[in-house]
């Protein structure tokens, strides 16, 4: 396996974990007239990310590398902003839209790298993640 595939999976993992934390943070802190709907939406989304985090980390291990699951490493690799607990509900949704778009782009690049390396297993995992984040994006954008 190529080190490029592993490095791209590490980027996907860090950004996926960061999106999980951001979504959970907004789940805890959302307020306003749409509280119930957004609280439930954010909850469903962060809960759906948990198994993906494990699957991506286990794929890295299957490729022979230990996973650096530290906040320091994830912070270094994350491409979007940290959550702001004081945002208004609509701003939270917009921030999650932006973060999901960034993550989708990262995953698409990782799929391309895995396919070049003829790593169909990694590409398959990542393609499913694209579909899941596109669905999250649709639901978030529909909430604006």
* pLDDT over 80 at 21, yes or no: yes
pLDDT at 47: 97
* pLDDT over 90 at 128, yes or no: yes
- Predicted confidence (pLDDT) per residue in 42-99, tens digit: 999 999 999 999 999 999 999 999 999 999 999 999 999 999 999 999 999 999 999 9
**10 Å Cβ neighbour count for 81?**
12
Q: Are 22 and 99 in contact (CB under 8 A)?
A: yes
Q: Are 132 and 52 in contact (CB under 8 A)?
A: yes
Burial of 67 (0-12, 13-18, 19+ CB in 10 A): middle
Domains annotated for the chain, with CATH where assigned, are: 3-142 (1.20.1260.10)
* pLDDT over 90 at 5, yes or no: yes
Residue 1: pLDDT band with limits 50, 70, 90? low
């Amino acid at each position: 396996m190529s080190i490029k595939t592993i490095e791209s999976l590490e980027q996907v993992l860090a950004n996926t974990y960061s999106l999980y934390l951001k979504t959970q943070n907004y789940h805890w802190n959302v307020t306003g007239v749409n509280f119930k709907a957004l609280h439930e939406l954010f909850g469903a989304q962060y809960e759906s990310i948990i198994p993906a985090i494990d699957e991506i980390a286990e794929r890295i291990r299957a490729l022979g590398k230990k996973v650096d699951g530290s906040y320091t490493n994830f912070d270094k690799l994350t491409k979007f902003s940290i959550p702001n607990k004081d945002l208004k509900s609509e701003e939270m949704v917009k921030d999650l839209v932006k973060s999901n778009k960034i993550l989708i782009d990262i995953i698409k690049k990782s799929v391309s790298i895995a396919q070049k390396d003829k790593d169909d297993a990694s590409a398959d995992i990542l393609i499913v993640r694209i579909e899941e984040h596109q669905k999250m994006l649709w639901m978030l954008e529909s909430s604006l």
